Amino acid sequence: MNEILLRRKNKIIVNYNVGGEQNLRENRIGSKENNNVMGEDAYVATIMKNVEALGYTFSWELFEILRTMEKHALQELYLELVAILKKMVGADVVYQPMYPNFPDSVMEADETRLYINAIVHYWSFGTLVPNEHKNERLPLFEAARLKVIHLGSMEDFQDIFNNLCQSKTSLSQTDKEDLAWIFGHLEVKLPEEIPLKENVGFIGNLYLENYPMASAEELGKFFKTATDVLRLITAMSNGDVSLAENTRYRNFRRRERRLLLELLQNCGAIEEDMLRYRDRWIRVGEKLHPGEYSKVRFGKVITAFDKLRNHIKIETFGGKVEHAVAAEDDSAALALLKKRPGELARRLDQLLRKAGDKNAVINAFKAVADEVSTPVLLQVREHFLHRNHMEIAADEVRVFFPKGNLARSHCIANTLPDIEDKYCRAVVRLCENSLIENYRKKDFLGNVYLSQDFRHYLVPFSQRSASKALKTIVRGSKLPIDSGVNTIRSFIWWTNMETSEEVGRVDLDLSASIFDGNWKLLEYVSYNNLRSLKYRMCHSGDIVNGGPVDGPGVSEFLDVDIASVLQGGGRYVIYQVYSFTMQKFSELPHAMFGWMGREDVGSGEIYEPETVEQKLDLTSQGVVCIPVIFDCLKREIIWCDMNLSVNGCRTDCGGNNLESNLSGAVATCYGIVHMHKPNLYDLIDLHIRARGVQVDNKEEADIVFDVEEGITPFDTDVFMGEYI
């Protein structure tokens, strides 16, 4: 419970007796037992000091509550709290780099010595490392910015549950795990509405797992189309509810089959919807056996399956639209699309490029804009806001991020013709008007403080492929680098897999490459180039064996000095993690990446938990990961969390490494840096225009939107459920 609250809200729930314990405390003051109270205050202060070493501290409210607790209760809470915080920042494992006196020992070593050490390590299959005595290190001089832990309550859990269920965007794996825990441990009720169809399937499956006797009548209001039911079937088979990947459907019990058929029967017109996923439905039919049931009860379903199996023609909406567009019958195409406002909104760019009467397109959208979902309106607004004013590279590309659980991008040449600015402005205005009308239906916000920093954080539209991290960050968001940070120290940690020694050996590689403002490669540091002669940039040594799966694990570190990057004409630093032994990160039992912001790399241990800025678990279904990009010129951290497709040159280029994937990394990072997505400032500004009053002073505000307090950019469930 507290792990979820700490990760999401920086809060913990404390079991204490508000009346009894507090009164006991008051009775002690001024009494003979006062010395005992002071002793307990010292105990709480000691706990705080230990928590500070992990980068956290307590709010005054939480401190006051802890002072009233008995010593044994404090001990239990402390042990729980420290275990959770260590796991969050990655301090629950041992970091064993090849060179324990990194970075000095690597920077000062002779090239021949570094080469010989590496060869011996490789020949021994990663079992032999340099025999280097670890020198005494200076204490950590720099003071880290502490994160405040507040007092939580069960209401926070209800808010998390409601926000995730009512999210208008896809859920991350972490979101799904948290929902599953809440379903399994707390008494909860499903909301009246689950807006996103993808989430309907997942949440419906959770409900059935915890309430297996649930009826179609209980769930029916959430399932309106055949695809909704297909997502539920996919979730029940542990598949991808986004339907981007194929699923091997399991066998269903008779009660489950009857429930699924009843849900399908109660949907509207299902034939066209089932045709979209014809092959999948045929495989599902082999598991549901609809022919075994009564035609009187399930006639519509039986007929639909029969048409799919026997290739009986089913007329589709999309076919009618495409026919009208091909015939250049704009009025017919618009008349059809107005029946499906979301589809019209998604086709606006195409229609405005091809239609002869562009005013008719604008008027058609105006007539139905209020019926388009708010996520689509936000994205259409952003697209047309930058449609003719995008930053253009020399080789002008468009970047796409396909749907699915694997975070990757595709780039194609940008050959789209311009659309006149007046039409773009009209679309933007219509989207804003409809969004404001939608948001006006919600409760009044009162006075609202909105930080300008929210412009750097993106709206969480698609989180399905987001990695589990210390702080939830939306891909493409830009975080400032603290002014006191001079060096970025990244790290990875991993173990081998639980199989035979050769098959189970895991070799992960940490790399960093420097590019100038035009994305020209200037330098890189990796396993075959441990240090840079031009930049203050250094690797802790290549380890090729993660050790026993239940052992201490191994680690690699990589330092980049920000000032030296700028002095050498660089701008972007791209960090990459490669699975050289080609196991997918999702297959590895233990693997993580993180970074620290360090003022002085000569003080403190190589790994200092209180300086950890971010840590994420490497669990993606890829073998190449780009976690983060550093813009040294703007002193910004650009959250990437992307995977690359291996380009097949493993033999030619010597393995799955930086050299093999350089072009793909550049294209992906260019797309992340230059993409235009709705930001949180614009989202909240629309809410304020609809139902609030903006103020410049936090003290006057009823709601605060800020990076450090109130509703922060990392409260993604709040934006997903309440504000999008």
pLDDT for the residue numbered 467: 84
Q: What is the mean pLDDT of the chain?
A: 89
pLDDT for the residue numbered 21: 41
User: What is the average pLDDT across 599-622?
Assistant: 91
**Within 10 Å of residue 257's Cβ, how many Cβ atoms?**
17
pLDDT for the residue numbered 558: 97
pLDDT for the residue numbered 400: 65
Is residue 392's pLDDT more than 60? no
More confident residue, 394 or 267: 267
pLDDT for the residue numbered 34: 47
Q: What is the tens place of the pLDDT at every residue in 220-252?
A: 999 999 999 999 999 999 999 999 889 999 999
* Least-confidence region, from 60-74, 507-521, 565-579: 60-74
User: What is the average pLDDT across 619-639?
Assistant: 93
The fold adopted by the segment(s) 478-674 is: Lipoxygenase-1 (2.60.60)
User: What is the average pLDDT across 349-375?
Assistant: 94
Give residue for tokens 């590496």.
Answer: 118
Distance CA 259, CA 266 (A): 11
Give residue for tokens 């109270």.
Answer: 37
Distance CA 128, CA 120 (A): 7
Residues in the chain: 724
Q: Model confidence at 461, in pLDDT bands (50, 70, 90)?
A: confident
Find all residues with CB under 8 Å of 451, minimum gap 6, and list them.
681, 705, 706, 707
More confident residue, 672 or 341: 341
User: How is the chain split into domains, by residue range?
Assistant: 2-93, 196-309, 317-440, 446-459+679-723, 478-674
Q: Model confidence at 650, in pLDDT bands (50, 70, 90)?
A: very low
Is residue 395's pLDDT more than 50? no
Give the single-character DSSP code of 541: -
pLDDT for the residue numbered 323: 85
DSSP SS3 for 586: helix
pLDDT for the residue numbered 635: 96
- Cα–Cα distances (Å) from 55 to 19, 142, 471, in that order, read 32, 12, 13
Q: Which run of H or E residues covers position 639?
A: strand 636-643
- Cα–Cα distances (Å) from 297 to 213, 220, 254, in that order, read 20, 16, 16
pLDDT for the residue numbered 394: 37
DSSP SS3 for 17: coil
Q: Is the separation of the CB atoms in 595 and 575 below 8 Å?
A: yes
